[in-house]
Structure 1
């Protein structure tokens, strides 16, 4: 199976008018054009104790991911899958990641749901059948939240999985897109997400053109859905190029160390 598409629908209160999200000159609140991504900074190998690790900044959103495995199943042996690896994921926001005080950063309902989405995404990405009766642990923590939190977590985890040397179908990338009336906005910021505009979230395996995850925030007419989906997909492909450059830099660093 090359991918899993998961559709989730949530309640929707209304559509924001384009002038509220775009200026008369066509600029967004942070100065970007509609299709422009936020600035991205990323690096791999930030924790030597983990099998793989990565850190990413997408605008003001910052996420950290660590990966352990594949390793033997820990705890109850009955959890072992005879034909593939068990992918175990945890997702959390630090208590200081948002202005709102968080008392249960690991166990709140939102984090549990996002951990399940993370698991679905990477089960569609990792070649789990190469590691039967084993376990792969992926831990994602959002250090600063300002829109696209889950997407940043996926992108950090994708780099961490690569850093761990775990075989994958492709370097999975995630991005969001919204609509200001009929104008698509890629890579939504926190204020844009809070506006209530309809939003799609996509995790994409670009080489195969396969979606590992698709989430909708509202019911959309097919034409409007296609517009938003196209913007999110293009954003994922642009992100893929950035993350690939980070992986290549990591490989160059590794080869330089071997040459010393």
Structure 2
């Protein structure tokens, strides 16, 4: 009986609600250098999800007992603005979710940042979500990666991030809010990637999916992640071309 119900649901989800193909992201926009007083900054929009990132540093780390003469420290702070949510007003200030995403963001970015270049120093990344329509942690990671590069932080590559969804057995790139809210078996699988090496720096899963589906989700996500990385690089090129022309 359960198998028959799943079969019926699979038949129902043959086309995405917004008309995208299963391997297609929402429309993406990216800009670098959007916050003048920050050392580096970025704007990243995917669909209706909007993330801003600002980088400050490297600067001397205080208190001094936290300093490490062998390497610097990368700190990330993720926050959703009170009016950013699709539903009820988001409660301002740190909460369990924002702390968890801050930690996840830091771990996603650490493999590309050469902190040995910044002994006894700290690089702070602040991420603000002004609008959220699913994929907010991935948008934040994308914005933070651009902002770090804009700040001149030594990096071996960018980090691109996107979620892959498993909706009743059908895998789709970049879930939106409507898809996340669908009844039935829905899993959200955020993935972050270093494009040049295809090293995965983030792989999470909220919901249920088999091992095979998880592998397929990564395979489906990689081409989209590489396209996102191209958009990130273009945002930096556009910014530096603009600076050169001024």
Please report the TM-score for the alignment, with normalisation by the length of structure 1: 0.86
2:108 maps to 121
Partner of 1:71: 59
Q: Which residue of 2 aligns with 1:149?
A: 136
Q: In structure 2, do the counterparts of structure 1 residues 19 and 143 end up closer, same or farther at CA, with 3 Å as the change threshold?
A: farther
Is residue 179 of structure 2 the alignment partner of residue 192 of structure 1?
yes
- Matches of 1:18 and 1:253, distance apart in 2: 48
Q: Distance in 1 between matches of 2:9 and 2:106?
A: 35
Which protein has greater RCO, CA pairs closer than 8 Å, 6+ apart?
1
Secondary structure of 1:204's match?
Answer: strand
178-187 vs 160-169, which deviates more? 178-187
1:41 aligns with 2:29: yes
State the partner residue of 1:234. Answer: 223
Residue 197 of structure 2 is aligned to residue 205 of structure 1: no
Structure 1 residue 190, shift from structure 2 partner:
1.4
Once residues 154 and 88 of structure 1 are traced to their aligned partners in structure 2, the CA distance between those partners, rounded to angstroms, is 13
Match runs of 1:98-113 below 5 Å: 98=85, 99-103=87-91, 105-113=92-100
Q: Is the 8 A contact 2:41 2:54 kept in 1?
A: yes
Shift of 1:171: 0.8
- Contact 1:202/1:214 (8 A) holds in 2: yes
Are the counterparts in 2 of residues 173 and 240 from structure 1 also a CA contact under 8 Å?
A: yes
User: Paired residue for 1:8?
Assistant: none
Distance 1:107 1:229, change over 3 A: same
Count of aligned residue pairs for this structure pair: 238
Partners of 1:210 and 1:55 lie apart in 2 by: 24
1:169 and 2:172 are equivalent in the alignment: no
Whole-Å separation in 2 of the counterparts to 1:30 and 1:80:
49
* Post-superposition offset of 1:219: 4.8
Cα offset for 1:54? Answer: 0.7
CA contact (8 A) 1:53 1:159 kept: yes
Q: Where do 5+ consecutive residues of structure 2 fail to align?
A: 1-5
Shift of 1:207: 0.3
Q: Is residue 43 of structure 2 the alignment partner of residue 59 of structure 1?
A: no
Shift of 1:245: 1.4
Moved more, 245-254 or 190-199: 190-199
Question: 2:212: which partner in 1?
Answer: 223
Deviations 1:22-80 (A, max 9, x none): 3xxx4311121111110011111111100001111100001110000111113x11111
Paired residue secondary structure (1:83): coil
Which has the larger displacement, 84-93 or 195-204? 195-204
State the 1:82 CA deviation: 2.2
Aligned counterpart, 2:238: 249
Cα separation, 2, equivalents of 1:19 and 1:147: 24
Flag structure 1 segments of 5+ consecutive residues without an equivalent: 1-14
Partners of 1:249 and 1:17 lie apart in 2 by 45
Please give the root-mean-square deviation of Cα atoms over the aligned residues, in Å. 1.8
Q: TM-score, normalised by structure 2?
A: 0.91
Identify which of 76, 86, 90 aligns with 1:89: 76
- 1:4-43 equivalent positions in 2, closer than 5 A: 17-19=9-11, 22=13, 26-43=14-31
- 1:216 alignment partner, SS class: coil
